[in-house]
Every structure is written in C-alpha cells, then in structure tokens.
Amino acid sequence: MTIPKILLLFIFLSLSNLSKAQLYKSALGIRIGASNGITYKHFIKKNTAIEAIGTFRYQGIGLTGLYEVHGRAFNSRDFNWLIGGGGHVHVWGDNRPKFLDKEQRIVLGLDGILGLEAKVRGIPLAISLDWKPTINIINYSGFWGDEIALSLRYTW
C-alpha cells in the first residue's frame, strides 16, 4: 500500500470515528489535579463539546472555557479521545502568588486540552484523564504545564 492510500485510509477511519464520538449529552462533576474544582461539559454536535471549568489554585479562583473535538478511541463505544483549546481568567484577592506584581489580581491566557474519556455503562458516570497546558498572556507571562487532572462527571 502506498503512502497516499494509507493517508486516505487513515483520514476515512478518523472521520468515521468522529461521527460516533458522543457518549452523552451533558455532564457535571469534579476535577481533581493541580487545580481542583468543578467541570461542566455539553456536546453541541456529535463530536464537539464545550466545557467550563471552575478551579481553585494559588488561593485564587479560575474560570476556563474550552472547545473540544472528540473521537472514538480503541474502537470502543465506551472511550473517546479529546483535543481542544480555549482561554482562562484567574483572579486573586490580597493573598496572591508571589509571581504577580503588587497590583496584579487578574491573569488571562490560553489553554489547550488533550485527554481520554470513558462512559461507564449502566450508570450515569463519565471519567476522564486529561492534560491542560496553559500559557498566561496578560498580567503574567508564563507556561503552566502541570495541569494533569482526573474528572468524574454525572451524565444525562
């Protein structure tokens, strides 16, 4: 088989897996990792979802919005891979991290996400493990690559 034929086969299989990606419609749960918090995910199409994550880190609060593309993983109806991106805002009061200047209380930036998600058969539970790297842009320039988290969500 030539390289172009292999590439066409890969594209066809990937697109066919995208059409079967949705494991549930909406989900709400907890996120456990470097930043703990809550997570809400809603599928807007069979293979695309939006996710909102509220977190607590460095004695402040953060809100992240993500757009995600999902596809079938392991040729199983119970597993999806996911990849996406979005942005965040983090806010601190008087007790803020030392890396911020005295007057800085808000940090804005961009986020990516790469992960694997499973829907447990027979009960309304989705479990995901993901890596969410962050690049802070406004009021602090830096990369946070330690956002590996486990999410447990109630699905409906």
For the chain, percent of residues with pLDDT exceeding 70: 87
> Cβ distance 92 to 60 under 8 Å?
yes
The residue ranges of every structural domain in the chain are 3-155
Closest CA to 55 of 114, 134, 124: 134
pLDDT digits (tens, 9 = 90+) for 1-29: 666 555 455 444 444 444 456 779 999 99
Burial of 65 (0-12, 13-18, 19+ CB in 10 A): middle
Q: Which two tokens stand for residue 102?
A: 């005295």
Mean pLDDT, rounded, for 38-54? 97
pLDDT for 143: 93
Does pTM surpass 0.85? Answer: no
Fold of 3-155: Porin (2.40.160)
Q: Report the distance separating Cα 110 and Cα 29, nearest Å.
A: 23
